[in-house]
A and B are shown apart, each in its own frame.
Chain A
Amino acid sequence: MTFEQAKDYLVSQARARSVDVEVLANAQRRLSVSMHDGRIAELTHATQGGVGVRAVIDGKVGYASTESLDEESLTWVLDEAIENAALQAGEGAVMLEGRALGRHDLLGEGLSAPVEQKVAGIKSLEAGLRADARVDAIAFASYAETETQAVIGSTLGADGGYRNGYAYYAASPVMKRGDSTKQGWDVDFSKEFHALDPGRTTQSILRRVGRHLGATPLPTGRYRAYFESEVTGALLGLLLYSLSGKTLAEGKSRLAGKLGARIASDLVSIVDDPTLPDGPASRPFDAEGTPARRTEIVSRGVLRSFLHNSDTARRTGQPNTGHASRSYASTLGVAPSNFMLETGAGVELTDGVIVTDLMGVHAGANPITGDASLQGLGLRVEGGETRPVENFALSFNLFSLLERIDEIGAESKWLPMSNLVRAPMIALDDLSFSGA
C-alpha cells in the first residue's frame, strides 16, 4: 500500500469499530555525500517512513506505528493502539475536529538535479578548501539533501498532505598559521539545489575560520557584545524551551504568567511562520491537522503567545497555535516551524567583541533558568580595527540578555539548530567576559 492507502485503510477500519483515531504518515528521503581528499568518504542514501496511529478513547490516548504497510501490519497497529489507550491512567485527552486540508507541494523540482552534479559540487567545495595553504585538515565536507512527505487523516475528518525538502553544503576545516590552529564550520542552506554555490560557500568558510588565526587571549572585562547570527540562533534555540507549551504545561517555563508583559527590549520581535513561501520548515498544517498560520510570539518586546498543540492548549487554557509535532513513531509534542527573530535597522560595529562561536550551549546552559556560562571565540573591535581573540567565557542570563538588546542586524540567516531558526546579529552593552 501507499501511505495514502494505508491512511485511508486505518481510518475506515477505525470508523467501523467506532474508535477515534488520527493517522499520520511521514517519509523522508535523505542523500548525503562526504568527500575526503577528492574521494567519496561516506555516503548515505536512505528512505524511511511509516504510519503512526494515535487513538483517543474515553479521554485516554494510545499510540502504535508501523513501517510495513500491508494489511496484517496495519490491523495489528490499530489493535495495539486501542489496547495501549485502554491501559493508560491519564484522562481528558480530546481529538480535534478535522477538515479537508488539500495536497501541497512546497518543494517542486528543487532537488531534482542529477546526483552527479551534487557529487561534483561537494567535490569542488572540498578541493577549494584544500587549495588554501592554511587548511591543515578537513574534519568534514558534505552535501546533504532531505525530502519529506507527510499525510494526515482522522476519523473526525482531517485529510491532507504535503511535500517539502531542502539541501545544504556544510564543511569544517582545520586551519593553521604558525602556532595558531582553529577549526570552524559553516553551512549553506536552500530549498533549491541550484541556488547553492560551492564556490561561495568555500570562500565563506575560509573567511569564517581563517579570521580567527593568530587569536590572542581576551583580557577579562565588560565589553559591548555583538552576537553573530550563529550565536543568536543558538540563544533562540535555548529560548524555545521556555516558549514551548509543553514546558509551560509541565510548570517549568520561566515565562509562565508573562503573557502581555514585556520580556525583551522593544527592538525584539519573534515570529513563527509556517506559511513562508521560501521557508525550509514551511508546512500547510501541523501534526494534528491544524491549518498553518503565522504566530506572533514576541511583539516589540511583549510576550504574545506560547507554542501550543491541542493538548498543551487545553492544559494551560490558552489558544492552540497549531504547533503540534509528531513523527509516525513518536508521541504528540510541540515544535516550531520557521522560527525567526525579525531583522532590525542594522548594527554598527564600534567598540567591543564580536562573538562568532559559542561552545556547549546544550551542556553549559540551563534552559529552565536561562543561566549560561559558555566558552566563546570572537573578534575584538577597537579603534576601527578588528583582531581575533580566544580563551574567554561568557556568563549571562538569557532572559536578562533579551531585555538589553539595543541593536539588531538588517540581514539574517537560516540555521539548522535542533530546530530551524532564522537569526540576525544582535548587540548589547556591558557584558561580562572572563578571559586572561
Chain B
Amino acid sequence: MITPATAETVLTTARTGGADFAELYVERWRRRSLRTIDAKVEEANSAIEFGGGLRLFFGTDVVYAFTNDLSDASLGALVETLLRLRDGETGRVDAAGRGGLDLRRASATGLHAPLVTFDERDKGWRLERLRELDAGARVEPPVRQVEGRLLEWEQDVLVANSEGAWVTDRRVRTRCVASAIATDGDQTQTGHHGPGLSMGLELFDRHPAADIGRVAGEQAMANLRGKPAPAGTMPVVIGNAFGGVIFHEALGHLVETTAVARKASVLTDKVGERVASPVVTYVDDGTTPNGWGSSEFDDEAAPTERTVLIDRGILVSYMVDRLGALQTGYRPTGSGRRQDYTFAPTSRMRNTFITPGETPRDDLFAGIERGLYAKALGGGQVMPGSGEYNFAVTEGYMIRDGRIEESVRGAMLVGKGPDTIMKVDAVSDDLTTSPGMCGSRSGSLPVEVGQPHLRVSEIVVGGEA
C-alpha cells in the first residue's frame, strides 16, 4: 500500500518537525452488501475504501489528518500542513527522530483467516443463501415480510509508527442478518437475528441461512402472541449472547480510558475497588478465534490481548489505548481502534463478556415467584457518565414460581449499569456471544457482546400493563 521508505520519510519529518510521536495508518477495505426483501434483491453494492491517516502527538495534544492520495508528494504535504497548523508551538524536538527508523516488521499469523476467501463463490450462491433465510423465517403465515442482509468485509491494514512498528493485518468479516415482520391485523411485531464472525462465507456452515431466518421468524411470532409486559421492580433473568449489551453499554463504556481520562465516568480512579457482585468476572478479549471483534493487532500496531476488566467483582483494568496510557498512566491493553482511516483511534471494546459461572441455567429461574425472563434485548440508550440505561426487551417471558410462562412484549429494562452489576446474584455456565456495531468517538466498530444467562435480583421493568 505504501513503501517502508515513504513511511520512514513521513514519520521522520514529523519527529524532526517537533512531534513526540508519529503514526501512519493505511487501509484498503473491500466490502459487499446484498439486501433482499421477500427474497428479491433490494440493494447490491460493492466498494473499495482506501486511504491513510497521519496522527502526531505533541505531549498529549493530538492532531490527525487523512487522505486517500497516498503518493509521496501528498503525504509530504499532509505532514507539512499538520506541523504548520501547530502554529509555531512544538513539542520537544527529540534527536532520536533524526537518525532514521529501524522498522520492525510484524504481521498477522492468520489466527482468524477465512476458509472461503472474498473472491470465491459467485453472487448467485450468495443470493441463494438469502432465499433460504427468507424461507426459513416464514415459520407461520403471520410472518409477512422478511428482509435478509449479507455483509462481507476484507480489510487490509498497515500501521507504522515513529517507534519503529510496521504491522500488517488482514481482517475478514462476514455477517448475515434476518429481520422478520409478523402481522395479525391489529398488531405488527418484528424479530431479528444476525450472526457475524471474523471469517468468510463458511459462516453459513456454523449458522445455516435457514436457521438465521427461523430464529428471527420465531421471535416475531413470540412478540405477536405476547401480552403487554407488566411494569414494576422484579427479579430478571437476562438471556445469554446479546443480553450482554446492557453491560457493554452501561459498564464497558465506563471503563474505556476515553471516558476515564476525562473523569467523565463514575468508575474513574476505582481500580482495586469492588464495582460488581463477586459472581461477576468481566473480560474484553481481542484474541477470541474468529470473534466478530477480534483482530491480531489493534489499529495502533499493538498486539491484541485478553484483558480482565473485573475479576470476581473487583475492577482490575481499564481498556487503554496509546493516548489513554499517556493521559492516565495505565498500561496499554491493545484497545486502540478506529472505524477506518477517516478516524483517529481511541480506546474501544473488542469482544466483551461476562465469564461462565457455576449455576446451572435452570436453577436461575428456581425460586423466582414473579419475574421477567429477558431472553433477547434490542437497542437502548445510556447516559455515558452515569451508566443510566434503558433497553428494550425484544423477546421476553414471564417467570412464575420458577417456571417460564407466556411471552410478553414491550418490556423495557431501566437502571444504572454500576448498580445493576452489583445486583447480579447468579451466573450460569452457558456463555455465548453475539455481534453488534458499536458507535463512539472513533466511529462504528464491530464488537461482540456476551454473557451466560444471569440473574439480577431486581431491575425496574417498564411495561405497558
- Give the B-binding residues of A (Cβ under 8 A): 33, 39-40, 43-50, 62-68, 73, 76-77, 80-81, 83-84, 86-89, 115-116, 119, 329, 331
Indicate the member of A33, A84, A88 with the most B CB atoms within 10 Å.
A84
A45's partner among B28, B34, B46, B85 (CB-CB below 8 A) is B85
Q: B46-59 vs A: 1/0 string, CB under 8 Å?
A: 11111100000000
B46 to chain A, nearest CB (A): 4
**A48-B342, A87-B123 are contacts. A67–B81 as well, Cβ < 8 Å?**
no
Known contacts A44-B65, A89-B41; A77 and B46 CB within 8 A of each other? yes
When distances are taken between beta carbons in the complex, the residues of chain A under 8 Å from B87 are 40, 116, 119
Asked if B45 and A64 sit within 8 Å, CB to CB, the answer is: yes
Known A-B contacts A68-B28, A88-B41, A115-B85; the reply to A46 vs B66 at CB < 8 A is yes
Q: How far is the CB of A123 from chain B (nearest CB, A)?
A: 8
B359 at the interface (CB under 8 A from A): no
| Docked complex: B50-100 residues within 8 A CB-CB of A | 50-51, 63-69, 74, 78, 81-82, 84-87, 89
A64 and B85 contact, CB distance less than 8 A: no
Q: A48-B67, A87-B34, A88-B41 are in contact. Are A43 and B48 (CB under 8 A)?
A: no
Verify A116–B84 contact, CB threshold 8 A: yes
Interfacial chain B residues near A40, Cβ < 8 Å: 85-87
Q: Least Cβ distance of B85 to chain A in Å? A: 5
Contact with A along B22-36 (1 / 0, CB 8 A): 000000101010100
Minimal Cβ-Cβ distance residue in A for B29: A67
Nearest opposing residue in chain A for B85, CB measure: A43
* A84: B residues at CB distance < 8 A: 44-46, 123
Q: Cα distance A12–B5 when bound, in Å?
A: 35
When C-beta atoms are compared, the residue in chain A nearest to B88 turns out to be: A116
Beta-carbon nearest neighbor of B65 in chain A: A45
Which of B40, B67, B87 has the most chain A CB atoms inside 10 A of its CB?
B87
**Also in contact, A115 and B44, with CB within 8 A (given A44-B65, A50-B68, A87-B127):** no
Out of A47, A64, A87, name the residue touching B47 (CB < 8 Å).
Answer: A64
Q: Are A48 and B123 in contact (CB under 8 A)?
A: no
Structural contact, A45 and B45, CB atoms closer than 8 A: no
- Min CB distance A326 to B, Å, is 13
Least CB distance from B39 to A in Å reads 9
**CB distance B63 to A43 under 8 Å?**
yes
A49: which B residues are within 8 A, CB to CB? Answer: 68
Taking a contact as CB atoms under 8 Å apart, the answer to whether B85 and A48 are in contact is no
Name B40's closest neighbour in chain A (CB-CB).
Answer: A89
The 6 closest A-B CB pairs, nearest first, are A68-B50, A80-B46, A84-B44, A66-B48, A45-B65, A64-B46
Q: Are B85 and A119 in contact, CB atoms less than 8 angstroms apart? A: yes
Least CB distance, A69 to chain B, in whole angstroms: 8
Q: Which residue of A lies closest to B54 (CB)?
A: A45
Task: Assess whether A45 is in contact with B50, with CB atoms less than 8 Å apart.
Answer: no
A50-B50, A68-B50, A87-B44 known; 9 new pairs, CB 8 Å cut-off, are A67-B51, A67-B68, A76-B30, A77-B48, A81-B46, A86-B123, A87-B41, A89-B40, A116-B84
A-B contacts, 6 of them at CB < 8 A, read A33-B85, A45-B65, A45-B81, A65-B48, A81-B46, A87-B123
Task: For A83, give the chain B residue with the smallest CB separation.
Answer: B123
Q: Which of A39, A81, A87 has the most CB of B within 10 A?
A: A87
Query: From residue B352, how far is it (CB to closest CB) to chain A in Å?
Result: 29
Within B340-361, the residues touching A (CB, 8 Å) are: 342
Cα–Cα, bound, A67→B67 (Å): 10
Q: How many A-B residue pairs have CB under 8 A?
A: 95
Tell whether, in the assembled complex, residue B50 and residue A67 are in contact, meaning their CB atoms are under 8 Å apart: yes
Point out the residue from B44, B45, B69, B122 that lies within 8 Å of A47, measured CB to CB.
B69
The reply to whether B86 and A62 contact each other, CB–CB distance below 8 Å, is no
B123 and A65 contact, CB distance less than 8 A = no
Q: Distance in Å from the Cβ of A135 to the closest Cβ of chain B? A: 22
In Å, the complex CA distance between A70 and B67 comes to 16
Most chain A CB within 10 A, of B51, B74, B89, is at B51
A165 to B64, CA, bound (A): 22
Residues from chain B with Cβ under 8 Å of A39 in the complex: 89
* A63:B45 contact, CB within 8 angstroms: yes
On whether the beta carbons of A67 and B49 are closer than 8 Å, the reply is yes
Specify the chain B residue showing the minimal Cβ separation from A53: B46
> Which of B47, B63, B123 has the most chain A CB atoms inside 10 A of its CB?
B47
CB of A48 within 8 A of CB of B68, answer: yes
Chain B residue at minimal CB-CB distance from A62: B44
Report the separation of the CA atoms of residues A420 and B63 in the bound assembly, to the nearest whole angstrom.
30
Give every chain B residue within 8 A of A47 (Cβ-Cβ): 66-69, 74
Complex-state Cα separation, A46 to B44, whole angstroms: 29
Most buried by A among B46, B51, B87: B46
A395 and B339 alpha carbons, distance in the complex (Å): 41
Measured between C-beta atoms, what is the minimum distance from A243 to chain B in Å? Answer: 25
Pair B68/A88 contact, Cβ less than 8 Å: no
Residues of the A chain whose Cβ atoms lie less than 8 Å from the Cβ of B50: 50, 66-68, 73
Contacts of B45 in A (CB 8 A): 63-64, 84, 331
Q: A115 to B84, Cβ gap below 8 A?
A: yes
Expressed in whole angstroms, the minimum distance between the Cβ of B238 and any Cβ of chain A is 31
Q: B82 and A45: CB pair below 8 A?
A: yes
Minimum distance in angstroms from B377 CB to a CB of chain A: 25
Q: Hey, which chain B residues are within 8 Å of A62, CB to CB?
A: 44
Task: List residues of chain B with CB within 8 A of the CB of A88.
Answer: 41, 44
Provide the residues of chain A in CB contact with B41, threshold 8 Å.
87-89
Chain B residues positioned under 8 Å from A81 (CB to CB): 46
Cα distance A50–B50 in the bound complex, in angstroms: 9
Q: Complex Cα distance A279/B65, Å?
A: 29
Report the minimum CB–CB distance from B61 to chain A (whole Å).
8
Closest B-chain residue to A47, C-beta based? B67
A49 to B67, CA, bound (A): 9
Residue among A46, A64, A116 with the most chain B CB within 10 A? Answer: A46
The interface residues of chain B lying within 8 Å CB-to-CB of A50 are 48, 50, 68
Shortest beta-carbon distance from A319 to chain B in Å: 28
Complex-state Cα separation, A258 to B192, whole angstroms? 41
Among residues of B, the one whose C-beta sits closest to the C-beta of A72 is B48
Residues in chain A near residue B74, CB distance under 8 A:
47
> Measured between alpha carbons, how far is A40 from B85 in the docked complex, in Å?
8
Whole-angstrom distance between the Cβ of B146 and the nearest chain A Cβ? 15
CB nearest neighbor in B for A329: B47
> A124–B46 Cα gap in the complex (Å)?
46
In the complex the two chains form, what is the Cα distance from A403 to B43 in whole Å?
Answer: 40
Given the complex of chains A and B, what is the CA–CA distance between A87 and B127 in angstroms? Answer: 8
Question: Could you say which residues of chain A place their CB within 8 Å of the CB of B49?
Answer: 67
CA distance A88 to B127 in the complex (A): 11
In this complex, what residue of B is CB-closest to A65?
B47
Closest to B63 in A: A43
B22 CB, nearest partner CB in chain A, Å: 15
Taking the closest CB of chain A, its distance from the CB of B216, in whole angstroms, is 21
Q: Which residues of A contact B48 (CB under 8 A)?
A: 50, 65-68, 73, 76-77
Interchain nearest-CB distance for A13 vs B (Å) = 16
Most buried by A among B40, B68, B78: B68
Please measure, in the bound complex, the distance between the C-alpha atom of A81 and the C-alpha atom of B46, giving whole angstroms: 7
Interface centre among B34, B48, B82, B85 (most CB of A within 10 A): B48
Are A48 and B32 in touch, CB under 8 angstroms? no
Interface pair A48/B51, CB less than 8 Å apart: yes
User: Which residues from B are CB-within-8-Å of A73?
Assistant: 48, 50
- Contact between A45 and B123, CB atoms less than 8 A apart: no
Give the complex CA separation of A23 and B78 in angstroms. 28
Given the complex of chains A and B, what is the CA–CA distance between A44 and B67 in angstroms? 11
CA distance A21 to B239 in the complex (A): 50
Q: Given A64-B46, A65-B48 in contact, is the A48-B81 Cβ separation under 8 Å?
A: no
Chain B residue contacts of A48, Cβ below 8 A:
51, 66-68, 342
Complex Cα spacing A81 to B47, Å: 10
Q: How far is the CA of A65 from the CA of B49 in the complex (A)?
A: 8
Cβ–Cβ contact B32 & A80, under 8 A: yes
* Known pairs A44-B64, A45-B65, A89-B41; A66 contacts B47 (CB<8 A): yes
Residue of A nearest to B49 (CB): A67
Q: Give the CA-CA distance A115 to B342 in the complex, in Å.
A: 21
Given contacts A62-B44, A87-B41, A329-B47, contact A46 B85 (CB under 8 A): no
